[in-house]
Amino acid sequence: MNKQRLRYSKTGTAKYISHLDLMDTMRRAMNRAGVGLKYSEGFNPHPYISVALPLPVGCESICELMDIGLDDGARADDIAERVSASLPGGLSISEAYTPARKFIDIQWIGISGRLHYDRGAPDDAVKRLIERFRAESIIISKKTKRGETEIDIAPFIKDVVIAGDNVISFDAKISAQNPSLSPENMMSSLTGEFGELAPDFAVFSRMEIFDSDMLIFR
Q: Based on the domain organization, do 170 and 205 belong to the same domain?
A: yes
Residue 1: how many other CB atoms lie within 10 Å: 10
Same domain? For 31 and 49 the reply is: yes
For 27-53, letters b (16+ CB in 10 Å) and e give bebbeebebbbbeeeeeeeebebebbb
Nearest to 63 by CA among 111, 26, 12, 13: 111
Q: Give mean pLDDT, residues 96-110.
A: 95
DSSP state of 87: S
Cβ(91)–Cβ(9) below 8 Å: yes
Q: Is the pLDDT of residue 1 over 80?
A: no
Q: Are residues 110 and 94 in the same domain?
A: no
Average pLDDT, the chain: 92
Of all residues in the chain, what percent carry a pLDDT higher than 90?
Answer: 75
Same domain, 93 and 133: no
Q: How many domains does the chain have?
A: 2
For residue 54, give its domain range. 2-100
Q: Could you say which of 51, 79, 100 is where a domain stops? A: 100
pTM of the model: 0.89
Q: Which residues make Cβ contacts (< 8 Å) with residue 115, sequence separation at least 6?
A: 121, 129, 164, 167, 168, 169, 170, 199, 202
136, part of any domain: yes
Residue 158, domain member (yes or no): yes
- Going 77 to 50 to 154 to 130, the CA torsion angle's sign is positive
Cβ distance 180 to 108 under 8 Å?
A: no
**pLDDT digit string, tens, across residues 77-92:** 888 999 999 999 999 9
Helices (H) and strands (E) counted in the chain, each on its own, are: 4, 10
User: Which alpha helices (H) appear in the chain, and where do they start and end?
Assistant: 19-32, 79-84, 125-133, 183-187
C-alpha distances in angstroms, 50 versus 68, 121, 198? Answer: 7, 40, 35
* Residue 96 and residue 109 in one domain: no
Pick from 43, 67, 100: which residue ends a domain? 100
pLDDT confidence tier of residue 76, bands split at 50, 70 and 90:
confident
> Is 127 found in the same domain as 66?
no
Confirm whether 56 is domain-assigned: yes
**What pLDDT does residue 62 have?**
97
137-190 pLDDT, tens digit each: 999 987 777 778 889 999 999 999 999 988 999 999 999 998 999 999 999 999
pLDDT score of 78: 87
The residues near 170 (Cβ < 8 Å, ≥ 6 apart) are 111, 112, 113, 114, 115, 129, 160, 161, 162, 202, 204
Domain boundary among 100, 127, 152: 100
Distance CA 188, CA 190 (A): 5
Is residue 81 domain-shared with residue 14, that is, in the same domain?
A: yes
Where residue 63 sits, what CATH number does that domain have? 3.30.70.580
